[in-house]
């Protein structure tokens, strides 16, 4: 049977553009049963030379410098928004109005109002939508979801989540766009805590109330002279104001009765990308750390006395979600595969007319928590989500 071709228009070619490009290129290779053929149709960026080079590297057939022309192209089925946050809403809403499926990086908007407008747009247009909360798709995280749903942890009491990095701790690190509120919306809060919130919601459920603090350690930095595709860039001689948070901490109450602590920072010296969540229940606990993404620690109180302790599950076999699509048992997969797994699910659901998960509803729910924490930090009080 001939598969339907899905033509992709990707807006953005830097860090996230590379991750998305690789995923579109590989998804059909590792998931040959996919009911559609994915075609890298058009890559869009403002710098023609740079976007052409990126397109040549990843195999895109066409390049564009104006996202409006990508949306207007009748051949394109999916618009993927992988640009800085201040352009997400405008592009996504226009794509929805044009009848395109809309995929978007997280957080979907820079503000709660933008997220609400984006969700309303895809609902009104009745188009498919997805958000790239890719850590859900690590085999160990998806397997943790199964353990929880099967009742192996019992009643959930605690969620303990941290996302720790140190890449801007040098005061001479330049003022890249991720440190400017008018472009990024927030700092570690929207960039890192957004992932913690989504993973916690995915595993435990909705958050009802928060009390938080956002803090900026370095107020001024050298203005960036040249950016790169690895979060950094070259510093210029002038100084500019940092307008986002360097660190985000909050405590939370879940609708289920569980409580949680969340910390996201770019000032944890020695931590490069420690995205870690621990969940404690009445029957057991789980621990997952992105820096050891193929491993899941599991403690069961049902084990015999004398044998109790955290066991290490290598989530690399066919029994674990997604893992069987790649290598033999114990041959680990990496960061890039979480994007491939997300797209495999998205395109399967797209072909079957089912909702994609995670989608703009998840993006909106995550944004509600982000917004509540920011309001709590400003008011120094508990805030309802």
242 and 308 assigned to the same domain? yes
Tell me the CA distances in angstroms from 339 to 15, 19, 25, 197, 342, one per residue in order: 13, 7, 11, 18, 5
Last-in-domain residue among 78, 107, 133: 133
71 and 8 assigned to the same domain? yes
Nearest to 83 by CA among 49, 116, 47: 47
52 and 156 assigned to the same domain? no
Q: CA torsion sign, 242 to 247 to 252 to 258?
A: positive
152 and 261 assigned to the same domain? yes
192 and 203 assigned to the same domain? yes
Supply the pLDDT for residue 133.
98
Nearest to 24 by CA among 338, 335, 355, 339: 339
Last-in-domain residue among 109, 133, 157: 133
Supply the pLDDT for residue 229.
67
Supply the pLDDT for residue 130.
98
Supply the pLDDT for residue 1.
66
Global pTM reads: 0.96
Nearest to 121 by CA among 95, 93, 98: 93
Residues 6 or more apart from 186 whose CB is under 8 A from it? 110, 214, 244, 245, 248, 370, 374
67 and 150 assigned to the same domain? no
CATH code at position 157 = 3.30.360.10
CA 211 to chain CA mean position, Å: 23
Output the 3-class SS for the chain.
Answer: CCCEEEEEEEECCCHHHHHHHHHHHHHHHHCCCCCEEEEEEEEECCCHHHHHHHHHHHCCCEEECCHHHHHHCCCCCEEEECCCHHHHHHHHHHHHHCCCEEEECCCCCCCHHHHHHHHHHHHHHCCCEEECCHHHHCHHHHHHHHHHHCCCCCCEEEEEEEEECCCCCCCCCCECHHHCHHHHCCCHHHHHHHHHHHHHHHHHCCEEEEEEEEECCCCEEEEEEEECCCCCEEEEEEEEECCCCCEEEEEEEECCCCEEEEEEECCCCCCCCEEEEEEEECCEEEEEEHHHCCEEEEEECCCCCCCCCCEEEECCCCCCCCHHHCCCCCCCCCHHHHHHHHHHHHHHHHHHCCCCCCCHHHHHHHHHHHHHHHHHHHHCCCEEC
- Maximal CA-CA distance, the chain: 66
Domain of 311? 135-384
Nearest to 105 by CA among 128, 141, 79, 124: 79
Supply the pLDDT for residue 226.
76
107 and 247 assigned to the same domain? no
Residue 354, class by beta-carbon neighbours within 10 Å (0-12 exposed, 13-18 middle, 19+ buried)? exposed
Supply the pLDDT for residue 225.
79
128 and 141 assigned to the same domain? no
Total domains present in the chain: 2
Structure tokens at 310: 């955290």
Supply the pLDDT for residue 2.
85
Query: What is the rounded distance in angstroms from the CA atom of residue 300 to the CA atom of residue 286?
Result: 9
114 and 144 assigned to the same domain? no
Per-residue pLDDT of the chain (385 residues), as tens digits, is 689 999 999 999 999 999 999 999 999 999 999 999 999 999 999 999 999 999 999 999 999 999 999 999 999 999 999 999 999 999 999 999 999 999 999 999 999 999 999 999 999 999 999 999 999 999 999 999 999 999 999 999 999 999 999 999 999 999 999 999 999 999 999 999 999 999 999 999 999 999 999 999 999 999 987 777 667 778 878 999 999 999 999 999 999 999 999 999 999 999 999 999 999 999 999 999 999 999 999 999 999 999 999 999 999 999 999 999 999 999 999 999 999 999 999 999 999 999 999 999 999 999 999 999 999 999 999 999 9
165 and 276 assigned to the same domain? yes
215 and 145 assigned to the same domain? yes
**Are residues 251 and 211 in contact, defined by beta-carbon separation less than 8 angstroms?**
yes
* Unique residue bearing structure tokens 């495999």: 344
Residues 6 or more apart from 324 whose CB is under 8 A from it? 317, 318
Query: What is the rounded distance in angstroms from the CA atom of residue 9 to the CA atom of residue 44?
Result: 7
CATH code at position 69 = 3.40.50.720
50 and 174 assigned to the same domain? no
Structure tokens at 262: 């969340």
């Amino acid at each position: 049977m001939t598969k339907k071709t899905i033509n992709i228009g990707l807006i953005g070619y830097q860090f996230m553009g590379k991750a998305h490009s690789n995923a579109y290129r590989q998804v059909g290779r590792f998931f040959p049963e996919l009911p559609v053929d994915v075609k890298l149709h058009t890559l869009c960026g403002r710098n023609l030379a740079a976007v052409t080079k990126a397109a040549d590297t990843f195999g895109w057939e066409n390049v564009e410098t104006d996202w409006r022309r990508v949306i207007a192209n009748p051949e394109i089925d999916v618009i993927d928004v992988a640009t800085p946050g201040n352009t997400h809403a405008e592009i996504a809403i226009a794509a929805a109005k044009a009848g395109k499926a809309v995929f978007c990086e997280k957080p979907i908007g820079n503000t709660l109002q933008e997220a609400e407008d984006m969700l309303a747009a895809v609902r009104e247009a009745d188009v498919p939508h997805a958000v790239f909360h890719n850590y859900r798709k690590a085999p160990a995280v998806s397997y943790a979801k199964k353990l929880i749903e099967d009742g192996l942890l019992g009643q959930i009491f605690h969620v303990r989540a941290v996302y720790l990095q140190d890449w801007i701790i040098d005061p001479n690190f330049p003022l890249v766009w991720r440190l400017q509120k008018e472009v990024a919306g927030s700092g570690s809060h929207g960039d890192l805590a957004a992932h913690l919130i989504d993973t916690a919601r995915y595993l435990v459920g909705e958050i009802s109330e928060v009390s938080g603090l956002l803090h900026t350690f370095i107020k001024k930095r050298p203005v960036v002279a040249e950016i790169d595709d690895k979060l950094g860039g070259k510093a210029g001689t002038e100084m500019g104001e940092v307008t986002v948070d360097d660190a985000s901490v909050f405590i939370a109450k879940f609708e289920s009765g569980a409580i949680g602590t969340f910390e996201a920072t770019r000032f944890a010296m020695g931590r490069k990308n420690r995205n870690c969540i621990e969940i404690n229940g009445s029957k057991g606990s789980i621990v997952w750390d992105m820096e050891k993404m193929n491993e899941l620690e599991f403690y069961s109180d049902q084990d015999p006395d004398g044998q109790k302790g955290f066991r290490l599950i290598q989530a690399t076999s066919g029994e674990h979600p997604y893992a069987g699509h790649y290598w033999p048992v114990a041959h680990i997969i990496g960061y890039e595969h979480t994007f491939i797994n997300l797209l495999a699910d998205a395109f399967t659901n797209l072909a079957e007319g089912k909702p994609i998960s995670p989608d703009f509803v998840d993006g909106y729910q995550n944004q509600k928590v982000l917004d509540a924490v920011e309001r709590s930090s400003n008011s120094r009080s508990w805030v309802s989500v």
